[in-house]
Chain A
Amino acid sequence: MDAMDEDGPSQQGQRVRSTVTAVRKSKGRGFRDDRSGREELYGAYEGLDGDGTSGPLKSVEGWVVFVSNVHEEASEEDLHDHFADCGDVKNIYLNLDRRTGFVKGYAMIEYANQQEAQQAVNSLNDSDFMTQPIKVTWAFSPQPLRRIENRPRR
Chain B
Amino acid sequence: MPGFTEDFYVRYYVGHTGKFGHEFLEFEFKPDGQLRYANNSNYKHDVMIRKETYVSQAVLEELERIVVDSEIMKEDDRNWPEPDKVGCQELEVRRNGEEISFATTKLGNLLQVQQSKDPEGLRIFYYLVQDLKCLVLSLIAAHFKIQPI
Question: Which A residues are within 8 Å of any B CB, using their own CB?
Answer: 15-16, 18-31, 33, 40-41, 43-48, 57, 59-61, 64, 66, 68, 91, 93, 95-99, 104-106, 108, 110, 135, 137-148
Contact = CB atoms under 8 A, between A and B. Distances in A.
Contact of A47 (B51, B57, B90): B51
Contacts, number: 176
B56 A138 contact: yes
Contacts of A60: 143-145
A145 B22 CA distance: 33
B6 A28 contact: no
Given A18-B9, A97-B131, A24 B145 contact: no
B111 interface: no
B143 A146 contact: no
24 contacts: A18-B32, A26-B101, A27-B76, A27-B98, A27-B100, A27-B101, A28-B77, A40-B22, A45-B38, A46-B51, A57-B54, A64-B143, A66-B56, A68-B58, A91-B142, A106-B62, A110-B142, A139-B55, A139-B142, A139-B143, A144-B33, A146-B31, A146-B32, A148-B30
Contacts of B134: 95-96, 98, 104
B60 interface: yes
B62 to A, nearest CB: 5
